[in-house]
Amino acid sequence: MKTLLAWLLWLWIALVIWAAFFYAPGAAENFQVPTSYRILFFHVPMAWASFAGFIGSAVWSVLYLRSRNPRHDLAAAAAIQLGLLFGVLATVTGAVWARIEWGLYWNWDPRQTSLLVSLLFYGAYLALRGAVDDPEKRARLAAAYAILGLVVTPFLYWIVPRITFSLHPEPVVNAEGKSQMSSDISRVLLASSVGFTALFFWMHNLQTRLLVLAERKSAGGDQGYGA
């Protein structure tokens, strides 16, 4: 069953890539360089997957503190690692696109700033994990830090837009509840977002299992990690 789902995921991603280049229209309105918009199909879902890593780590950290099941701690760590990976990819694709659209790789746009701060947070979380040897202590401290991160970062969503103005277009679902994109583009974007979310959770599952195995190996035997 798992193998079948993985193959379906790969088929879906392949279809998204095909659709991004051949199904979606060649040029989109409201862009400086209309033909450059295709990177959107990869940039936005990557930013979304990075955000999923952020929320996921906090959820698994809460679960860990409630159950003290080491697997939840490793799931939180895996979510942060993948959040970092997708965050770096979103930053790079965004910077490339910003150079083409706005003429600058980096301009402290509110979303660039928020993403950068979340990358700093991911880095700090991993640094903390690296600095504690005892697995139980590491899990406790890292879980507390992940939850603290989720408490303070929402403030950035108020603060940063006041300080710098945004060049990013209105979100797909804006105040009027209407999409400003043509239906073909938003269909591919939606499919891509679904695909990347599934990809995130598939990779997360693999990474968590890897971390559990590594932990078992370093502990020198079965320490009661769930299957």
Partner 1 sequence: MSPIASSWAAEVAAVFVKEWRCEFRTRYALNTLALFAFTTLVVTSVSLGPMGIAKAQGSAVLPVLLWLILLFSVAAGLPRAFVQEEESQTATALRLAATPSALFCGKLLYCLTLVMALELLVTPVFLTLMSLGVESPGLLAAVLAAGGYGLAVGSTLVAAIIAQARTKGTLFSVLSFPVLLPLLLLVVELTRTAVAGGIGDMGSTAGVVLPQLLLYDASVSVAGLMLFPVVWNP
d(CA 35, CA 27): 4
DSSP per-residue codes, 9-49: HHHHHHHHHHIIIIIS-S--TT-SSGGGGGGHHHHHHHHHH
Piece of 42-50, 86-94, 102-110, 124-132 that binds partner 1 (CB under 8 A): 124-132
Query: C-beta of 26: minimal distance to partner 1 in Å?
Result: 41
- Tell me: does residue 127 bind partner 1 (CB under 8 A): yes
DSSP per-residue codes, 91-157: HHHHHHHHHHHTS-S----HHHHHHHHHHHHHHHHHHHHHT--SHHHHHHHHHHHHHHHHHHTHHHH
Q: Helix or strand or coil: residue 222? A: coil
Piece of 76-84, 139-147, 181-189, 217-225 that binds partner 1 (CB under 8 A): 139-147
- Each residue 78-117 as x (binds partner 1 by CB under 8 A) or -, in order, gives ---------------------------------------x
Choose which of 160, 181, 185, 212 interacts with partner 1 (CB under 8 A). Answer: 160
- Tell me: does residue 51 bind partner 1 (CB under 8 A): no
Choose which of 145, 201, 202, 225 interacts with partner 1 (CB under 8 A). Answer: 145
- Tell me: does residue 149 bind partner 1 (CB under 8 A): yes
Measured from the CB atom, the residue of 140 and 209 that comes closer to partner 1 is 140
- Tell me: does residue 227 bind partner 1 (CB under 8 A): no
Q: Both tokens of residue 142? A: 């890292």
- Tell me: does residue 156 bind partner 1 (CB under 8 A): yes
Distances in Å between the Cα of 57 and the Cα atoms of 29, 79, 114, 195 are 37, 5, 17, 20
Query: C-beta of 137: minimal distance to partner 1 in Å?
Result: 6
- Tell me: does residue 63 bind partner 1 (CB under 8 A): no
d(CA 27, CA 47): 23
Q: How many CA atoms lie within 13 A of 212 on its CB side?
A: 19
d(CA 203, CA 9): 11
Residues within the interface to partner 1 (CB under 8 A):
65, 117, 120-121, 123-124, 127-128, 131-133, 136-137, 140-141, 143-145, 147-149, 151-153, 155-156, 158-160, 162-163
